[in-house]
Amino acid sequence: MCAIVPFGATAPKTRLDAVLSSAERHAFAVAMLRDVLAALRGADFDPLVVATDAVDVDARVVVDDAPLTDAVNARLDEPPVAVVMADLPLATPDALARLRDPDADVVLAPGRGGGTNALLTRRADFSVDYHECSLCDHRSIARSMDASLAEVDSFRLATDVDEPTDLAEVLLHGTGAAHDWLVDNGFELVSEGGRVRARIE
Amino acid sequence: MCAIVPFGATAPKTRLDAVLSSAERHAFAVAMLRDVLAALRGADFDPLVVATDAVDVDARVVVDDAPLTDAVNARLDEPPVAVVMADLPLATPDALARLRDPDADVVLAPGRGGGTNALLTRRADFSVDYHECSLCDHRSIARSMDASLAEVDSFRLATDVDEPTDLAEVLLHGTGAAHDWLVDNGFELVSEGGRVRARIE
């Protein structure tokens, strides 16, 4: 099954600017993308990176500078198809395989804060909307189509990395390129106010 | 199987003080506890609330004002036994039942930021340590005992509610007493900086 992986190649991960330079953010974003691609292959998905600019990864890449929602919707017409965000460095083959488990027309893996970090559709008339609370929108869209809907309860898929506090999760649970990139660049765990944080040594 | 549910009845949820008064925090904490107890029963666990003071819930309650780690360790000597935090209002019977699935001596359900939101031990010599990064500590303790270790990948169990930003998850995914308490007290979802937040209307 094809898995579309949108990738914002231009100035990715701007909310990490307090801890990473522009070049570092790009390198870290590519490391996360590589982890997602490896996990997708391990779960027998066939990844297709849809990037706003060229990116050097070992996968099929198409460049499309349309907004995220449009770029994905242009590629949903041959279901079943999955859409998996590029910033899920905790994703494992087991976690991604769970997208296929429910016998439902539309399967959503929520992200924190109302995001949709991964989804699978078996209906050609499903479309995405990544503005604001995309999870709310995708639930509504499925309902409006009378599509059956299921959600995957996965911490690994819920953990997209956008903000400095998210980096701790990569150090705690990651095992791939993004984890190694943080370690190689001097990040380590420190305790702070009840939860651990990642900080430069 | 017994599931110990520690509950800090004295000034619970202090990090919610920016949005809830002391009396409100207590009422909301009890609502979350009730959700956890209902979900545990739905998963065929026998809950035992270990509270620092009396609390009015429909379950066995023992009052123990010892620190959290000590109060739990005093009750782990008859495995198998689970320990489930009281601030997991997204917990469902399905999510909690997954604690029993792995055939491992120790099963951990990570919380965000290095917490251990739920665990199950089949070994009487396992002990907990809830200071700092409890997940790191519990992994180490299991390793030092040569215990087999598994982790449950659940967003619902990873989502403990400590901070105002966590309330949005309750509105988005909760269906029980804590969700209803927030709605009854005027909270609603608003979009803010890429993730949705809960705000008083």
Q: What is the pLDDT of residue B30?
A: 98
Closest residue of chain A to B191, computed from CA coordinates: A132
Centre a 10 Å sphere on the Cβ of residue B78 and count the other Cβ atoms it contains: 8
B115, B133, B168: residue with CB nearest A189: B133
Instruction: Give the pLDDT of residue A131.
Output: 86
**CB contact B135 to A (< 8 Å):** yes
Average pLDDT value for residue range A130-139 = 94
CA A78 and chain centroid, separation: 21
What's this model's pTM, rounded to 2 decimal places? 0.97
CB B127 within 8 A of CB B141: yes
Q: How confident is the model at residue A201 (pLDDT cuts 50, 70, 90)?
A: low
pLDDT above 90: residue B137: yes
The Cα A90–Cα A157 span in angstroms is 7
**Across the interface, which of B114, B136, B196 has its CB nearest the CB of A113?**
B196
| Chain A residues with beta carbon closer than 8 angstroms to that of B195 | 112-115, 162
Report, as an integer, the average pLDDT of A124-137.
95
Detail the DSSP E strand segments found in chain A. 2-7, 46-51, 60-63, 81-84, 106-111, 115-121, 149-151, 187-192, 195-200
Residue where the block lists tokens 């299921």: A150
pLDDT at B54 over 80: yes
Mean of all residue pLDDT scores within chain A: 96
Chain B residues in contact with A197 (beta carbon < 8 A): 113
Tell me which of B152, B161, B195, B199 to substitute to probe the interface with A (most A C-beta atoms closer than 10 Å): B195
Q: With CB atoms and an 8 Å threshold, state whether B15 touches A194.
A: yes
Tell me what the mean pLDDT of segment B122-138 comes to.
95
Interchain proximity A112–B191, CB inside 8 Å: no
Distance from CA of B79 to the nearest CA of A (A): 27
The pLDDT score that the predictor gives to residue B201 is 66
